[in-house]
Amino acid sequence: MEIKNTVNILALLVFLTTFFNCKSDRQNKKVKNGYTVQKEIKIDSSKQYFELIKVFEDHRYDMPEDLWTYKDFIYFYENSNHYVNEAIRILESQKTNKTQQEVIIYSMQRLSLDKYMELYKSLHNLYKKGIIEKEVFFTVLYPSFGKQNTIIRNYKDDLIQANIKELLSDSTLKDYHTSFNNILNGKAWRDIKEYSGM
């Protein structure tokens, strides 16, 4: 009887261990836009943001949506207001490639309007200095990532209106003038709402 009880106890312990390990594993995972990713971890150092960007030094994602599979990216995306200064510093260091620059912009899509305009101004200055390509600069206006579309959504804002009108006087960006006008008159935002069913 004693041996039987011991076996039963051991079996129960194995079951409980397996159960709680599985439960813990489920809790540490979540589904984001159809992708299963590890639950975001709290990151206290901006060094981790630099390490995330460094990953894309030699690596190219197939589609921007692939970034949802990087748990660190999701963390910075959801906490971008705390890391915008670090993002700008990395951009201004002139040590990033086009892919890295795009990842930085995508990771900052949850910024408040004021902070997003800080990012915009930094990118605009880098473009005028010839440090980033116009396609990268255009990404901050039309990110095609996430649902924020901060500049397009807030097209009525006086600061946004003034900045977009300034772009219309830049002949190097003439290929984008129609897109700029679509932001100014709200067409870009109406199109996004219609396309996404908002």
Tokens of 101: 């620059």
Q: What is the DSSP letter of 53?
A: H
Q: Based on the fold, state whether residues 19 and 116 are members of the same structural domain.
A: no
Q: Based on the fold, state whether residues 20 and 92 are members of the same structural domain.
A: no
Structural domains of the chain, count: 2
Q: What is the DSSP letter of 1?
A: -
Q: Based on the fold, state whether residues 90 and 168 are members of the same structural domain.
A: yes
Q: Based on the fold, state whether residues 136 and 186 are members of the same structural domain.
A: yes
Quick one: average pLDDT of 85-102?
Answer: 93
Q: Based on the fold, state whether residues 1 and 84 are members of the same structural domain.
A: no
Q: Based on the fold, state whether residues 70 and 8 are members of the same structural domain.
A: no
Q: Based on the fold, state whether residues 40 and 91 are members of the same structural domain.
A: yes
Distance CA 154, CA 181 (A): 14
Query: How confident is residue 153, by pLDDT bands cut at 50, 70 and 90?
Result: very high
Q: Which among 137, 71, 143, 158 has a CA at the least distance from the CA of 111?
A: 143
Q: Which domain holds residue 129?
A: 33-196
Q: Based on the fold, state whether residues 1 and 99 are members of the same structural domain.
A: no
Quick one: average pLDDT of 23-49?
Answer: 48
Tokens of 29: 């995972």
Query: How far is it between the farthest Cα atoms of the chain?
Result: 91
Q: What is the pTM of this model?
A: 0.75
Query: How confident is residue 25, by pLDDT bands cut at 50, 70 and 90?
Result: very low
What does the mean pLDDT of the chain come to?
A: 81
Q: Based on the fold, state whether residues 188 and 127 are members of the same structural domain.
A: yes
Say what the pLDDT of residue 24 is. Answer: 39
Question: Please, are residues 53 and 96 in contact by the beta-carbon 8 Å criterion?
Answer: yes
Q: Based on the fold, state whether residues 2 and 63 are members of the same structural domain.
A: no
Q: Based on the fold, state whether residues 47 and 136 are members of the same structural domain.
A: yes
Query: How confident is residue 144, by pLDDT bands cut at 50, 70 and 90?
Result: confident
